[in-house]
Amino acid sequence: LPVHIGVLEDDDYPTLDDVLKRLKKKGVKKVFMRPMLLTGGDHATVDMAGDQPDSWKNIVSGAGIEVRFSTKGLGENNLYRSIYIKRIEKALR
């Protein structure tokens, strides 16, 4: 599956506008959004999946792309968590 990563801050790259342009160019009809954060806090529940007009969910939906999402952070994934713990253990040696 293709993966498109975007950042929340407008002065970083790629922004939501950059990602949305790529999705439209490729003719994408559906997306699944998930935060690339250890925990899914306000960025996930408000900025990405919130009900306000400027959430990523509503902007992408407004562009005609079906949006599904999870607000769970990477730390809630067992595989990622085990990788993270191994790296911490290695760093502590």
Q: In this predicted model, what pLDDT tens digit does every residue of 68-81 receive, in sequence order?
A: 999 999 999 999 99
d(CA 45, CA 62): 18
Domain containing 81 equals 29-92
Profile the chain (93 residues) by mean pLDDT over runs of 10 residues: 88 94 96 91 90 95 96 92 94 96
Tell me, yes or no, whether 21 lies in a domain: no
Give the pTM: 0.82
Tell me, yes or no, whether 10 lies in a domain: no
Tell me, yes or no, whether 4 lies in a domain: no
Tell me, yes or no, whether 67 lies in a domain: yes
Q: Which residues contact 16 (CB under 8 A, 6 or more apart)?
A: 6, 8, 56, 59, 60
Q: Contact at 8 Å (CB) between 30 and 2?
A: no
Q: What is the CATH number of the domain that holds 67?
A: 3.40.50.1400
d(CA 56, CA 65): 11
Radius of gyration from C-alpha coordinates of the chain: 15
